[in-house]
Amino acid sequence: MKENIWISILKANNLMRSPDEVIAFENALASLADRPQDEDLPDLHLILDDRCEQPEVMFGLIHFLESFDVFAQMQAFVTVVPQLMLVASEWTRILHTRILNDDDACRLYRDILHYSLNTQEPNFVRQLLEESASYHLNKREAKLELAR
């Protein structure tokens, strides 16, 4: 598949070291938002980089990712998380936490992680994320039981 020109621009400017890079990043993101494509999700996740100098602008990408169908977004995240951890461990943590804070998304996330562990090459990061999601859901359900 030919790489999307807008994704290439995001990749080239994801560190946002200058006002020109910030403008190029924002314009490319706006263009992608006009016609979101699920197949771009893995590449979009891999734009995240902890070295980015403008995290508030990068949050625009987070919000864009979250605007997709939740299943498609989770599937892409789970697929790329081992790569993403290498350059964007903080952004990975942010996405993971945001998922945990939504019960429906968290259940789906846990299920996708569980399925990926059974169908893909074993991955320690995915296993830890699944355990984290399961623990979070169990803890929340226990609190609900106590409240009854």
101-137 pLDDT, tens digit each: 999 999 998 899 888 766 666 676 777 777 877 777 8
Of 55, 133, 134, 53, nearest in space to 91 by CA: 55
Q: What confidence score (pLDDT) does residue 116 get?
A: 77
Q: How far apart are CA 100 and CA 107, in angstroms?
A: 9
Q: Is the pLDDT of residue 145 over 60?
A: yes
Comparing C-alpha atoms, which of 148, 75, 71, 79 is closest to residue 104?
71
Instruction: Give residue 131's pLDDT.
Output: 80
Average pLDDT over residues 90-101: 95
Higher-pLDDT residue of 142 and 4 is 4
The residue type found at 73 is Q
Task: Tell me the pLDDT tens digit for each residue of 19-74.
Answer: 999 999 999 999 999 999 999 999 999 999 999 999 999 999 999 999 999 999 99
Tokens 């706006």: give the residue: 30
pLDDT score at 1: 40
- d(CA 105, CA 71) in angstroms, rounded, equals 8
Residue 7 near residue 44 (C-beta atoms within 8 A):
yes
CA 137 to CA 63: how far, in whole Å? 23
pLDDT at 142 over 80: no
The model carries a pTM of 0.83
Q: How far is CA 148 from CA 45, 58, 103, 139, in A?
A: 40, 41, 18, 15
